[in-house]
Amino acid sequence: MSVPAGVSVGQRLQVTIERLVFQGSGLGHLPDGRVVFVPYTAPGDLAEVEVAEAREDFIRATLVRVVTPSPVRVAPPCRYFGNCGGCQWQHLEYAAQLHWKREILHELLARVGKLSGVPVAEPAVPAGPWEYRARAQFKIFAGARLQIGFHQRETQRVVDLDRCPLLDARLNDVLRTLRGMRDPALHKLFPRVREVWAAAGTGTGEVVVSLFARAQDRAAIRLLFHRIQAEVPALTGVVLLDGDPRQHPRFVDRHGQGAILERVGDCRFRVDATAFFQVSGLAAGTLTRLVMEAAALTGTERVLDLYSGVGTFTVPLARLTRQVLGIEANAAAATDAVQNLRSNGCPEARIVQAQVEQVLPALAKDGPWDLVVLDPPRQGCSRQVLDAVTGMGVPRVIYVSCDPSTLARDLGILVPAGYRCLSLQPVDLFPQTFHLESVAVLERTA
């Protein structure tokens, strides 16, 4: 595509930032009306920027310097901010982050979902804005020396970190210990490691480290366990898996435990090293409270919990209603869910390990169902799932979303199909980033 007249890549401009947009960039306008997107800016900044990409209707630019700072701009505490891709908003006051997350959600509902009048609450805040992450997925590059950290913004390069201010202290201890390892046996192991995941249990104190590697070196795994445990006494297990962590990796070996225990309210959950769980037990507790309040169970309902994971919602739902059926595709998570139902005194509830799309049509015929809980991954629900839900005529739907853009898209399908959005509660599980969780409550009207 040709560069528009009057603007060239590499050219420097001054832009006033007007607002923030989804994925975190600031937005301004050129005198000719074209939109300019600039990462790491704040609403109210007068910024000098350099054009990185110029198209007919918008421009992407990088921040050169802040000429006049916004009143909501603060000094980011992390020296890696702007290079590491983990955070986008450390330069914003936290109150401003919450304000703009709500504004962005409103904008997406209108632009993507074609919806108006949806009652969006002020964001709920489960924990403080720092040291809230009890799970981390460290990237590895083993060149002349071991590099461990997170990906650089919009690249696959590893930003080598010595600590992260978002991580639970135990995970920073794991990071520091891994960086300090110089044992020859471990040096042979790490070039074959793709990622290292670490999880710290909330309320239980347990820590489990998982290595995704093209390796079957059991001796190295035992050595790694003892090296980390010497610095992180809470460590209870190291797990070795083969393959891509997002493509059903194969279990190879473990030393110690292969899962952690999480406490959410008065429920306890076993969470396998490869199973999804919220960023912390506090985060899971906030979402569970919102779901249970919205469910308003009387004890007679039949409930479908779709994308049920390890049973975070299935367990408390099963305690208070007649019948609950959870559907989960991940085998490890589904196995954990069955065990978690039993250990929490809910053996009558059922878990089916399958893709939601595969089993929902048959379940629709097994109705009527009184409530459907949707907690899909970031890509949201497929049209097949949404059509099945609307076709079932379920009186109430609770949609737990981890991506406001796909939530807006899916609400834009559910509402015209006969549902009214009673409430939409944003939940800030990821301070210092643009990410936003939300709980939408929908009621059948037609």
Q: How far is residue 111's CA from residue 123's CA, in Å, rounded to a whole number? A: 20
Structural contact between residues 146 and 205, judged by C-beta atoms closer than 8 angstroms: no
Bridge partner list, 14: 48
Q: How far is residue 152's CA from residue 149's CA, in Å, rounded to a whole number? A: 9
What are 115's two structure tokens?
């919806």
- DSSP designation for 73: B
Task: Indicate which residue of 84, 164, 267, 402 is catalytic.
Answer: 402
Q: Is 84 a catalytic residue?
A: no
- Which helix (H) or strand (E) segment is 13 a member of? strand 12-16
In terms of Cα–Cα distance, which of 289, 369, 287, 357 is closest to 323?
369
**135-142/146-151 β-pairing:** antiparallel
In terms of Cα–Cα distance, which of 215, 278, 200 is closest to 249?
215
In terms of Cα–Cα distance, which of 328, 332, 330 is closest to 313?
328
The sign of the CA dihedral 407, 28, 61, 140 is negative
Burial class (CB in 10 A: 0-12, 13-18, 19+), 327: buried
Give the count of beta carbons closer than 10 Å to the beta carbon of residue 348.
10
Burial readout 71-88 (b: 16 or more C-beta within 10 A, e: otherwise):
ebbeebebebbbebbbbb
Integer-rounded Cα radius of gyration of the chain: 23
Q: How far is residue 47's CA from residue 28's CA, in Å, rounded to a whole number? A: 10
What distance separates the 2 farthest-apart alpha carbons in the chain? 69
- Which helix (H) or strand (E) segment is 172 a member of? helix 169-179
Catalytic residues: 402
